[in-house]
Structure 1
Amino acid sequence: MILCAGESLIDMVPEHGTFRPLAGGAVYNTTIAAGRLGEDVAYLWPISRDPFGEMLLAPLNEAGVNLDLCPRSDRLTTLALVTLDNGEAVYSFYDEGSAGRMLSVQDIPALPDNISAIFAGGISLVPDPCGGAIESLIAQNHSRLPVVLDPNIRPFFIQDEGAFRDRLNRIIPQCDIVKLSSDDLAWLYPGLDAQEAARKVLALGPKIVLQTGGAAGAHAYWSGETVTAPAIRTTVVDTIGAGDTFNAGVLASLRRQGVLGKDGLAQITAPAIKAALTLGAQAAAITVSRAGANPPWQHEMPGH
């Protein structure tokens, strides 16, 4: 079972002069996508008992996600208020003392034996105490379980850039796969092109660094020749949840190929990586073809 650990929240999206609440959060979206692809997946993040918490639970249950490691909380759900400034989305977070924000190191349980891999990332890595809790989860388990990380860097959410860079520099060497967008790489290593920046990340210790770039496709940097998979041509409605869905496709492919493990990743081949990038791209193409973070179900995937 793949364990996804990280934020869920409610995006308050402008609509006809008011706001429409939508379930979201990068790791939450990946969890939903993996469940819809038929993967055995569990989620770790506090869920509020408020009405927004119930909104978050419904899609998780619908996708068959295991919620045994999700504590319920009387604290409120994090809200991300989206406003438009000349067409650009601007976010305001209501997060102080929220259910997720207050996840602490002491709340991280011993993982059951049926957990076979960890996926983490998103803005859950940024503030404390939750950032320290996710860091602790990785530190406690990375020696026996493969760890896949997508920091999904959101500069507007980072109040202490130095502390966040320090956290990433501690976490990345403990990860087996790190996925970064072109924007993430530009933030991490200003002035370097994406390939140079990805190689810098690879030098920190991961076995594979994945770079996504929308229409430019996806690239994998590892010990062999760079592996590339083109983006799938489609009509784009919006890109919400695209990267998160890509992550789920990669995880699903690696698990189905039997290489989502410490031994499997140590001996991975270029064709196996290519297959993972391709499934990720196929899943993401469906997500961008419809509004919002609405990842595909397995029966919607090509060749099913």
Structure 2
Amino acid sequence: MILCCGEALIDMIPSAPQSGPQSGPEPYVPRPGGAVLNTAVALGRQGASVGMLTGLSRDMFGQQLADHLTGSHVDLSQIVWSNRPTTLAFVHLRDGQASYVFYDENSAGRMLNIADIPPLPQKISTLFFGGISLACEPAAESYMALLAREGTDRVVMIDPNIRVGFIKNEDRYRQRLTRMMGQSDIVKVSDEDLNWLFPRSAALEDKVQQIVKMGVTIVVLTRGEKGATGFMSNGSQVHVPAAQAEVADTVGAGDTFNAGVLAQFSAQGCLRKDQLKSLAPDDLQQALERGARAARVTVSRIGADPPWANEL
């Protein structure tokens, strides 16, 4: 089983405004969100064995998140339940650009404590970390402690998915990411992530090699419409172009790509540390291609709505 560890939240999305002079304030529609939740949902829909580890509220929004996960075949046995509120992200659209206001203080997700997470069962072979859950303390520290406690004999993938607006202490955040990437087997970074991690002027490939030198087996660099390149610690490289699609929006595209890569590795029987180290370039190529195909479906429709296996 692949265990996705990180945030699950509610995006409050503005619905279409009412027409006419009597129209009132624009209503909001609650929709499940969060990069790690999106990744878990995308994995479940592709048929992978997947679970979610997060702090989830017993409130009405927490139940909505749980229903969304189980509806996509995501196992909830590692959820840490509490009576704290669910994180809410209110989305404001102006001229097509989205900005966010987060209500996250003392939430079920943010207050997750490592002491509340029991030892993981042996059936969990792979851990996935990422998103804003690595930036928001105290949960961010709990996820780092979980990786240190449980990641030694399991495959670990991390996608920093850096959101600068959430960073309260840049030094602590950089140290946390560096430590966690150094314990990972697979790191996925966008070109924007890479330039934030290594702000000095240098070629992207040189910056990728900085991550490889941390002991990472595979680094996947995504560059939007320029596609994705996989760098292996043995020096091999593979590249896949971005799959062409009519774009509705890009919400959840990167999360779906991550799920496609992990789902393909799982189907290939490659989710073991030793197998990743001896992975053939063709196998990595197939994983990136599946990620690109899955992301193509997601961007073709509104919101984070990953494809099911029969759509691929």
Same fold (TM over 0.5): yes
Distance (Å, rounded) in 1 between the aligned partners of 2:176 and 2:117: 18
Q: Which residue of 1 aligns with 2:268?
A: 257
Fraction of identical pairs, as percent: 47
The SS at the match of 1:167 is helix
Q: Distance in 1 between matches of 2:206 and 2:97?
A: 29
Deviation at 1:224, TM superposition (A): 2.4
1:202 is displaced (CA, Å) by: 1.5
Q: What 5-or-longer segments of structure 2 have no aligned partner?
A: 18-25
Structure 1, 84-93 or 184-193: larger mean CA deviation: 84-93
- Deviating more after overlay: 57-66 vs 288-297: 57-66
Matched, 1:9 2:19: no
Separation (CA, whole Å) in 1 of partners of 2:81 and 2:229: 38
Matched residue SS, 2:132: helix
CA deviation after TM superposition for structure 1 residue 88, in Å: 2.3
Moved more, 188-197 or 207-216: 188-197
> Which residue type is aligned with residue 209 of structure 2?
R
Q: Which structure 2 residues correspond to residues 215-230 of structure 1 after superposition, within 5 A?
A: 215-222=225-232, 223-230=234-241
The residue aligned with 1:203 is 213
Structure 1 Cα separation of the partners of residues 147 and 80 of structure 2:
18
Equivalences for 1:23-38 in 2 at 5 Å?
Answer: 23-38=32-47
Aligned residue among 289, 297, 308 for 1:286? 297
Say which one has the larger Rg. Answer: 2
How far does residue 169 in structure 1 lie from its aligned partner after superposition?
1.3
1:24 Cα deviation from its structure 2 partner: 0.3
Cα deviation code 1:168-224 (max 9, x no counterpart)? 111111000000111111211123332222121111111111111121111111222
Would you say the 8 A contact 1:186–1:192 is kept in 2? no
Shift of 1:26: 0.2
- Equivalent residue for 1:18? 27
Moved more, 119-128 or 188-197: 188-197
Match of 1:72 in 2: 81
Partner secondary structure for residue 54 of structure 1? helix
1:99 maps to which of 108, 119, 138: 108
Correspondence list, 1:85-234, <5 A: 85-190=94-199, 191-222=201-232, 223-234=234-245
Q: SS of the residue aligned with 1:72?
A: strand
Please give the per-residue CA displacement for 1:233-264, whole angstroms capped at 9, x wherever unaligned.
11010000000000000001011111111121
How many pairs align? 301
- RMSD, aligned α-carbons: 1.1
Instruction: Name the amino acid aligned to 2:213.
Output: A
Q: Return the alpha-carbon distance in structure 2 between the equivalents of residues 52 and 142 of structure 1.
A: 30
